[in-house]
Amino acid sequence: MSSQNQQIMFVFPGQGSQYVGMGSDLIRDFPSAQRRYEQASELLGYDLIKLCLDGPEEQLRLTRHTQPALLTHSLACLEIFQELTDHQVQPVLTAGHSLGEYCALVAAGALDFATALRLVQQRGECMGTYGDGEMLAFPLHLDSVRPLAEQHFCAVAACNLSDQTVVGGRGPDLDRLTEAALTHFPRKKPTRLKTEGAFHTFYMITAALHFRPTLDAAEMKAPAIRVLSNFTGTHHDPDPAAIKTRLFFQLFHPVNWIGNLETAFHDEITTIVEFGGGLGSGPNPEDKRPNLESMVKKALRGSDYSVHYHAAINSQTLRDAAKALQP
């Protein structure tokens, strides 16, 4: 299946997709990836290659490190894909989950790599320094979770699917929320997420206020193609000032990923390509699977609508995706 007559969306995952060894194959196989990682290390002021390839995992998991690492990996994957396809496969829409929204803006031409890297470095520093709380993922609809969360000083952090809602709060409050939720929904056990804070909730307001001067000062252009906003669930306004406002609010409001998917389906997207990161217990890049694919498939379950999905998250899947989509 070539890309001709396809409505293509590029998507980028958020935190939780990082792993030690991420990018090792790209650096080995593609000189452009080596150059991109070296540029990132110089801009960040530390050896990103060593951190990504050797860890330790507890350092890579810190949001101040995760965000630059994942952005660099995702955009290195994008750059390699563009090389392999001679820039002939172009999206009509881009989207990213949380941190991934910054990658989506780079892919759409609104940010350059260096500016995006500096933004997410500062974003991660602010979230790690000024944030608070923890996160839980519930296999429940928003309307079932939110009333219980609000009774326990917790807040919705992400609406990923109609039956997947993430909540943030302080540890003891989340413990009490879990007890209450299991009383009402005994077969719907939540999963504690490995994060430094209750991202995308009111626990990030102080972090957002400290991040705002960096965001305000960033050079940004109107995107060349449509980009989806986590804050609204719909398309970004092309005005850079409006985009910055939505990125600011995104830090302490829920990620409306199900809204993003519904907008993409309404736009009649036929093909999705996911760049960067990876999930799975295997230690090597080729062992990983894409982060967002399962959410897309679940969102389409029971629907007559379908999309072609391509992972572009390591050397092999990049080659496979490029071959499949080459005009």
Active site residue ranges: 98, 200
DSSP state of 192: E
Q: SS3 breakdown of the chain: % helix, strand, coil, rounded to 5?
A: 50, 15, 35
| DSSP alpha helix (H) spans, the chain | 24-29, 31-44, 48-54, 57-60, 63-84, 100-107, 113-130, 142-151, 171-184, 205-217, 240-250, 257-266, 293-300, 315-325
Q: Tell me the C-alpha distance between 17 and 1, whole Å.
A: 28
Residue 87: C-alpha distances to residues 9, 78, 83, 91, 260 (Å) = 15, 10, 6, 11, 25
232: closest CA among 252, 210, 259, 209?
A: 259
Q: Which of 169, 196, 166, 157 is nearest to 64 (CA)?
A: 196
The tokens for 34 are 């080596």
Angle at 35 between CA 313 and CA 319, to 5 degrees: 30
- 132, 170 in Cβ contact below 8 A? yes
